[in-house]
Structure 1
């Protein structure tokens, strides 16, 4: 009974967003996401949409303008069955518009751009990160309440912050920026962002990170498309699967995990450590709200019992010292 009601409510929300947003009938376009390297080749990811509307934020604009601009990121029609070609490879967009290609090539470490195109349209550069051969480890980090101030532990606060803010008003945690900057060591160690935020926010988050100096990294976000099972994959399932993928395609790199205690990251990370013994060097978890639940406390203890130092506090200051890497 609850699932049908939830699906109806979600469809009403979708309908409401469409009325607020600005629609148009442009021809399909490619939206590139940040790709990543695997032993089999470079994975390029993106989405075929009916149109893209992105507005440059203004610090003086109203919350209503912010709302319209943010809603426009969600009011898109995905276009299925569109061939996308580049680097000698072709893939077809799926029912949600997503496209994924694996390309071969002799790519230098760092960021590379691979041009992909819809037939009859100019190519679009798809960026991908190639890890340096001298990398010591990788960093896998959550975004909301870990890197940026969101209030994700409170659904009402999270929605208000997300939909009425802009890339100019959203705040990055200074302590998270300092920790991440130290860990990436000038870009030598790659970072990947694993978040339950929807793919619709990819460009917004990438722009926000660039503006605030947050180290750039491929993002693993969540599809919020409506299915018979509900809305997208669950938080725990999505994050755990994304981390499993990253550990598998970077078999020679151990990882540091960054997250927060407001969205069950401790439980996700505890289970990752159990599935991948010896791969995790340290865990850092922000406590965004006063008090920590019993489930999180038990997860902290289980992580430590597995031999992985688990730092948890309202700030990431002191995480490096706790890990013993200063």
Structure 2
């Protein structure tokens, strides 16, 4: 009994430590904070998003490290409040855009690149400034990814149950692995890192294709997802597309994510006009249906659909197979796969990835058969 209690205490200690990890970057800073998200764009326009919020500094008697500091930092995260209707200036090269934050403190700047960015670079720096009455100008920087003009493929991937275990059936297993077994890598599906690295690098192994990730989760978990990607060596991509849940005491439920995924895909197809796209999702939600609609609405734009099978229901598999039959005769094939290796084999056959990339996926999947 005592041993079990120690394990439970260890579990919650690690859980609080993980929840507090994003706060360690600010070194205990309170007041107004400008938190940018990784930006993206084409040679014609770019997008930079972020949030402006106020947060309390930790009390002086709180130690810099340890369980007590973790608890204090979790509380500080919960007490963050967005700064409403404040002007945000975003400067990318010689291009400037000014926007104001919304009711939750979020901002989204669409920057027309009248002054071109250096073509030899894919990553660019955006300077962000917010003027406050009490603290003067608060400044920060954001990374902005603009792929080269010869980009041959765009990859758009779901996160939940596609890259990482998040389904209801897997939640306990995921938490056990993460906090009890200290096996953080295994919260990602085997072969995912190798597959996405191969897609990012292409058949030549030298490309830097844009990979865009979308999740149903709130922007509040952005930092934790970013840490998860880095921990698992998954290409971070230009941006993680999340959504603002808008939770409050008067509205305790998330706002509806109406057509959240489809809207983002259509926006990316318009931004990277003419570039073929690969869509990756899972069978547990509506990814196959949404992706099939996209194929029909944008003929010739979707090169392949990869669906990870996470639902063992025969009815669900039958429904997905019917969708696959609807795409027969189009330029797109829908692949329903139990693991990353089947996706990698098809991607190599289509010339999306190299033989080396396919072997890397195979080796990782075979090394973790029970994951």
Instruction: State the TM-score, normalizing by the size of structure 2.
Output: 0.69
Measured at CA, do residues 37 and 211 of structure 1 come closer, stay the same or move farther in structure 2, by a change above 3 Å? same
Q: 1:173 corresponds to which residue?
A: 189
- 2:264 paired with 1:264: no
Structure 2: how far apart are the matches of 1:215 and 1:112?
A: 17
Q: 2:350 corresponds to which residue?
A: 325
Q: 2:256 corresponds to which residue?
A: 233
SS in 1 for 2:127: strand
Indicate conservation of the 8 Å contact 1:34/1:44, yes or no: yes
- Consecutive unaligned residues of structure 2, counting only runs of 5 or more, are 1-18, 58-65, 352-371
Q: 2:165 corresponds to which residue?
A: 149
Measured at CA, do residues 203 and 295 of structure 1 come closer, stay the same or move farther in structure 2, by a change above 3 Å? same
Measured at CA, do residues 110 and 158 of structure 1 come closer, stay the same or move farther in structure 2, by a change above 3 Å? farther
Q: Which moved more, 1:270-279 or 1:97-106?
A: 97-106
- 2:302 paired with 1:302: no
Measured at CA, do residues 73 and 107 of structure 1 come closer, stay the same or move farther in structure 2, by a change above 3 Å? farther
Structure 1: how far apart are the matches of 2:188 and 2:195?
A: 12
Of the three residues 36, 40, 43, the one matched with 1:36 is 40
Measured at CA, do residues 65 and 174 of structure 1 come closer, stay the same or move farther in structure 2, by a change above 3 Å? farther
Q: 1:127 corresponds to which residue?
A: 143
Measured at CA, do residues 95 and 202 of structure 1 come closer, stay the same or move farther in structure 2, by a change above 3 Å? same
Matches within 5 A, 1:100-139: 100-103=108-111, 104=113, 105-108=115-118, 109-119=121-131, 120-139=136-155
Measured at CA, do residues 321 and 272 of structure 1 come closer, stay the same or move farther in structure 2, by a change above 3 Å? same
Structure 1: how far apart are the matches of 2:210 and 2:311?
A: 29
Deviations 1:99-125 (A, max 9, x none): 112333432331112110211234211
Q: Which moved more, 1:221-230 or 1:192-201?
A: 221-230
Measured at CA, do residues 241 and 165 of structure 1 come closer, stay the same or move farther in structure 2, by a change above 3 Å? farther
Displacement after TM superposition at 1:40 (Å):
4.2
Structure 2: how far apart are the matches of 1:126 and 1:233?
A: 28
Measured at CA, do residues 70 and 159 of structure 1 come closer, stay the same or move farther in structure 2, by a change above 3 Å? farther
Instruction: State the TM-score, normalizing by the size of structure 1.
Output: 0.77
Measured at CA, do residues 68 and 276 of structure 1 come closer, stay the same or move farther in structure 2, by a change above 3 Å? farther
Structure 1: how far apart are the matches of 2:220 and 2:45?
A: 26
Say which one has the larger Rg: 2
SS in 2 for 1:107: coil
Indicate conservation of the 8 Å contact 2:219/2:244, yes or no: yes
Measured at CA, do residues 155 and 40 of structure 1 come closer, stay the same or move farther in structure 2, by a change above 3 Å? farther
Q: 1:278 corresponds to which residue?
A: 300
Structure 2: how far apart are the matches of 1:67 and 1:265?
A: 37
Matched residues, number: 295
Deviations 1:233-285 (A, max 9, x none): 33x61001111111110002110111111122111111111221110000111
Measured at CA, do residues 29 and 281 of structure 1 come closer, stay the same or move farther in structure 2, by a change above 3 Å? same
Structure 2: how far apart are the matches of 1:290 and 1:237?
A: 25
- Consecutive unaligned residues of structure 1, counting only runs of 5 or more, are 1-19, 54-60
Indicate conservation of the 8 Å contact 2:37/2:48, yes or no: yes
Displacement after TM superposition at 1:155 (Å):
8.1
Q: Which moved more, 1:275-284 or 1:101-110?
A: 101-110
Deviations 1:289-314 (A, max 9, x none): 32351543433333445441111121
- 2:251 paired with 1:243: no
Q: Which moved more, 1:164-173 or 1:126-135?
A: 164-173
